[in-house]
């Protein structure tokens, strides 16, 4: 993978700016095929500073708390997501930013970093404090360094060396307001002005899916790419359900509890896009009238957006549906996957990852399985079956884990045949853990993280992602490329390891002690004593000796 990424920058930066950083905020609202609406907030800060410099402390809009962390731990790229719920690829299409349920972190360290493992451990601890999440639980026992799944998304100066990447996920992490508040503090306007005022804890947790993420990467400052900048993208993805809201006629007030009071004065642009592509089947009327309508053609599929520019006055947007709901046939996206456990009992189990390719041509994907150390897999049981016929992976990278030290990782490069369902199946053992290793609520089960399927889609249907050379959602309009990169996350799995009854140890100790006490005496007697015939000698000398001994002993006592 010795490829140098040189990325073109399309945006022109006005050098006349007093400060070298720029902040944009965007909100995308997209009604999904069923009863849901997808809201994506994106706050992008671009700072024209050399990412390699150690002096990142004089920031203007960029969060100082974050810059300190990245300098200290020599971070080149940082991707964090905190997610509750599962993105339903089959019916919702692709999100703008993919993230796995729970907490997920992956980081590229700079190639002059010496001790990556220590830096990784320290970094996750710092991030844990920054976001109030249990990221401090990440260490080498649950981290992997995948070879091909996670390429850097930004620019790099040297050849790629996958030993500088670390990936970890905490599927059990519960995401709540305590993560949202510190996350909002990283924004230039905090939550006081601009689009961020819409992020109120109550309403945004009444969703089917919500995800907070932070992505940091170095990008090109200009088209020549002779200078680099740092791009920080903070995004929130929410999926509201009309059945939970109680009505299909949504408005900003209904979704977020309030309208926008004022724009953020620090933001260069502050825009709201409402996708109106499906407005011919389920017709809704937007009020107020949008500032303009945009048509974006991308990868052979065009979509329509209504654009609102947030101004320095209160505003809200409302949509009202004209007719009764029409049930349209859902066309699933070209590539999606799910994961499940097979088998029963607490001895042996299997894990199946099913990948669906609905496209008419083969698609190349990389599948990454990230398994905790307590799930030792049998690689010889690995079976890849595509539409009923066995298949061989083009490349298989298996990094076996170590008990209590290192997680297992399995990367498979596959060419999914056209219109196929491919299942990857392998078996594993349930192991006994030491009794301190069980978490609280031990009978809840143990998690296996999401499998990650990365691939390049040849067409832009259902695709909403931002191109690699762009920074804002606006850069995805008319951004037709050769292919479109997606990284799908499956659902995590809960398995039940053999769990002791933790109320029992007391009883067991009592019982075991009694049994040992009863058995020990006789056993000790048999093994140490020998029955010897003793001649009873009654001469005077021995009697005296005996008498003396008894006297001596009694005195001693």
Q: State yes or no: residue 519 binds another protein (CB under 8 A).
A: yes
3-state class of 42 per DSSP?
strand
Residue with smaller CB distance to another protein, 136 or 330: 330
Q: Nearest distance from residue 175's CB to another protein, in Å? A: 10
d(CA 504, CA 502): 5
Residue with smaller CB distance to another protein, 248 or 399: 248
Which one-letter DSSP state was computed for residue 260?
Answer: B
DSSP string, 141-187: GGEE--SSS---SS--SS---GGGEEEEEETTPPP-HHHHHHHHHTS
Written as six digits, the tokens of 482 are 């050769």
Q: State yes or no: residue 203 binds another protein (CB under 8 A).
A: no
d(CA 271, CA 120): 36
Residue with smaller CB distance to another protein, 526 or 553: 526
Look-up of token digits 């066995």: 390
Where would I find the H helices in 391-504?
Answer: none
Residue with smaller CB distance to another protein, 86 or 413: 86
Report which of 50, 53, 54, 59 is spatially closest to residue 23, judged by C-alpha positions.
59
Q: State yes or no: residue 208 binds another protein (CB under 8 A).
A: yes
d(CA 393, CA 383): 10
Q: State yes or no: residue 86 binds another protein (CB under 8 A).
A: yes
E runs forming strands in 358-392 = 363-371, 377-386, 389-390
Residue with smaller CB distance to another protein, 116 or 384: 384
Residue with smaller CB distance to another protein, 92 or 120: 92
Q: Nearest distance from residue 336's CB to another protein, in Å? A: 11
**How many residues interact with another protein (rule CB under 8 A)?**
50
Q: State yes or no: residue 541 binds another protein (CB under 8 A).
A: no
- Out of 37, 84, 156, 264, the only residue in the binding site for another protein (CB under 8 A) is 84
Q: State yes or no: residue 506 binds another protein (CB under 8 A).
A: no
Sign of CA pseudo-dihedral 54, 59, 65, 67: negative
- Out of 60, 85, 251, 318, the only residue in the binding site for another protein (CB under 8 A) is 85
Q: State yes or no: residue 504 binds another protein (CB under 8 A).
A: no
Q: How many CB atoms are located within 10 Å of the residue 525 CB? A: 9
HSE, side-chain direction, 13 A CA sphere, residue 217: 22
Q: State yes or no: residue 338 binds another protein (CB under 8 A).
A: yes
Which one-letter DSSP state was computed for residue 259?
Answer: -
Q: Nearest distance from residue 86's CB to another protein, in Å? A: 4
Task: Convert residues 422-461 into a mask of x (bound to another protein by CB under 8 A) and - (unbound).
Answer: -------------------xxxxx-x--------------
Q: State yes or no: residue 340 binds another protein (CB under 8 A).
A: yes
Burial 146-179 (b: 16+ CB within 10 A, else e): bbbbbbebbbbeeebeeebbbbbbbbbbebeeeb
Task: Convert residues 483-502 into a mask of x (bound to another protein by CB under 8 A) and - (unbound).
Answer: --------xxxxxx--x-x-
- From residue 533, give the alpha-carbon distance in Å to each of 353, 530, 536: 75, 10, 9
Written as six digits, the tokens of 81 are 């997501």
Q: Nearest distance from residue 228's CB to another protein, in Å? A: 37
The residue length of the chain stands at 557
Q: Which stretch binds another protein (CB under 8 A): 59-67, 298-306, 361-369, 523-531?
A: 523-531
Q: Which stretch binds another protein (CB under 8 A): 23-31, 241-249, 265-273, 311-319?
A: 241-249
Q: Which residues bind another protein (CB under 8 A)?
A: 34-35, 83-86, 88, 90-91, 101-102, 171, 206-208, 241, 243-244, 246, 327, 338, 340-345, 350, 352, 441-445, 447, 491-496, 499, 501, 518-519, 521-523, 525-526
């Amino acid at each position: 993978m010795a490829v140098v990424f040189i990325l073109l920058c399309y945006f022109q930066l006005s050098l006349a700016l007093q400060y070298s950083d720029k902040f944009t905020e965007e909100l995308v609202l997209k009604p999904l095929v069923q009863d849901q609406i997808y809201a994506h907030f994106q706050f992008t800060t671009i700072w024209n500073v050399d990412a390699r410099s150690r002096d990142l402390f004089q920031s203007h809009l960029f969060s100082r708390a974050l810059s300190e962390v990245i300098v200290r731990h020599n971070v080149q790229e940082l991707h964090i997501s905190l997610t509750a719920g599962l993105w339903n690829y089959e019916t919702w299409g692709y999100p703008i930013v993919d993230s796995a349920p729970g907490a997920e972190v992956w980081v590229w360290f700079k190639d002059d970093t010496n001790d990556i493992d220590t830096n990784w451990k320290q970094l996750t601890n710092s991030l844990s404090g920054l976001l109030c999440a249990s990221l401090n639980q990440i260490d080498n026992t649950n981290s992997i360094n995948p070879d091909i799944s996670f390429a850097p998304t930004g620019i790099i100066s040297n050849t790629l060396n996958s030993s500088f990447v670390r990936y970890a996920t905490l599927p059990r992490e519960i995401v709540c307001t305590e993560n949202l508040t510190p996350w909002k503090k990283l924004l230039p306007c905090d939550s006081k002005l601009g689009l961020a005022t819409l992020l109120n804890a109550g309403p945004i947790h009444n969703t089917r899916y919500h995800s907070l993420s932070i992505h940091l990467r170095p990008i090109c400052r200009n088209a020549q790419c002779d200078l680099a900048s740092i791009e920080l993208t903070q995004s929130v993805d929410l999926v509201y359900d009309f059945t939970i809201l109680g009505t299909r006629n949504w408005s900003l007030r209904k979704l977020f509890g309030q309208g926008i009071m004022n724009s953020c004065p620090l933001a260069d642009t502050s825009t709201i896009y409402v996708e109106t592509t499906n407005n011919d089947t389920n017709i809704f009327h937007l009020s107020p009238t949008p500032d303009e309508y945009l048509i974006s053609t991308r990868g052979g599929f065009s979509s329509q957006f209504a654009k609102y520019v947030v101004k320095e006055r209160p505003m809200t947007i409302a949509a009202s549906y004209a007719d009764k709901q029409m049930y349209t046939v859902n066309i699933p996206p070209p590539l999606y996957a799910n994961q499940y456990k097979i088998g029963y009992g607490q001895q042996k189990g299997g894990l199946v990852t099913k990948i669906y390719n609905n496209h008419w041509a083969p698609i190349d994907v990389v599948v990454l399985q990230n398994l905790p150390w307590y799930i030792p897999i049998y690689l010889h049981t690995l079976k890849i079956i595509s539409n009923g016929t066995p298949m061989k992976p083009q490349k298989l990278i298996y990094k076996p884990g170590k008990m209590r030290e290192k997680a297992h990782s399995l990367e498979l490069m596959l060419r999914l045949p056209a219109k196929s369902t491919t299942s990857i199946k392998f078996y594993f053992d349930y192991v006994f853990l030491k009794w301190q290793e069980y978490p609280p609520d031990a009978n809840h089960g143990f998690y296996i993280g999401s499998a990650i399927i990365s691939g390049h889609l040849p067409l832009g249907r259902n695709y909403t992602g931002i191109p690699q050379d762009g920074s804002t959602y606006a850069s995805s309009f008319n951004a037709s490329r050769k292919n479109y990169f997606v990284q799908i996350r499956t659902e995590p799995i809960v398995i039940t390891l053999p769990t002791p009854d933790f109320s029992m140890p007391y009883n067991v100790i009592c019982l075991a002690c009694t049994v040992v006490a009863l058995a020990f005496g006789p056993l000790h007697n048999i093994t140490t004593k020998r029955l010897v015939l003793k001649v009873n000698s009654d001469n005077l000398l021995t009697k005296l000796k005996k008498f003396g001994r008894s006297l001596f002993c009694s005195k001693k006592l």
